[in-house]
Structure 1
Amino acid sequence: MRLPPPLDTYFEAQTTADADRMAATFAPGGVVRDEGLLHRGPGAIRAWWLAAKRQYDHVAEPLELSHADGRVVVRARVSGAFEGSPVVLDFAFRLSGGRIAELEVR
């Protein structure tokens, strides 16, 4: 499966635990919606990701790619230190200018 470049980098950075590289895939005004919270801008997104990594020690493995409502949706197997691991989640991305403008994890 070929992911658009910023998404390929996003998931690769998950595997190598490179928070700076992951955050750099987001546009300056990029947002993440996850677990009912909103994180805006690469700094806040980096902090969100590091906190989640500490709490869950998770890794997301892309399984399939689709498009819906102007978004690129990546279904991924997420495994880590949490009850019910692994789970399959949808990562719904909106891209703009070669970067991630929005991510909703559902």
Structure 2
Amino acid sequence: MNLPKIISELVRTQNNFDSVAYANCFSETAVVYDDGKTHNGKKEIEEWIADANERYGATMEPLDFQENGSQSILKVEVEGNFEGSPIVLDYHLEIFDGLIHSVRVTG
């Protein structure tokens, strides 16, 4: 599967549990919508993923990627320390200038 560089980096940093590098995949004003919560800006995104990494130890395996301009959907299998693992999730992404500007995670 041919993924854009920033998406490959997002997956790599998640699987390495590197919350700083993960947050660096996002613009300064990016927004993440996940599990009914909104995380605004790089700092909140870094705190959110660091907490999630500690609690769930989740890794992601890309299954499919569809791109339409700046809009993309990354389908991943997520496996970790949570009920129902593994689960398939869709990451609805907006990417501009090589950085992620928003992600909405659905499952």
Q: Is the 8 A contact 2:70 2:96 kept in 1?
A: no
| TM-score between both structures, scaled by the size of structure 1 | 0.94
Matches for 1:53-92 after TM superposition, within 5 Å: 53-67=53-67, 70-92=70-92
Aligned partners of 1:2, 1:30: CA distance in 2, in Å? 24
| TM-score between both structures, scaled by the size of structure 2 | 0.93
Cα drift, residue 55 of structure 1: 1.4
Aligned partners of 1:10, 1:17: CA distance in 2, in Å? 10
Structure 1 residue runs without a partner (length 5+) = none
Q: Which residue of 1 aligns with 2:42?
A: 42
Structure 2 residue runs without a partner (length 5+) = none
Which amino acid is 1:32 matched to? Answer: V
Cα drift, residue 70 of structure 1: 4.7
Superposed CA RMSD in Å reads 1.3
> C-alpha offsets along residues 36-65 of structure 1, whole Å, 9 cap, x if unaligned?
111011110000001111111111111111
Q: Which residue of 2 aligns with 1:9?
A: 9
Q: Percent identity?
A: 31
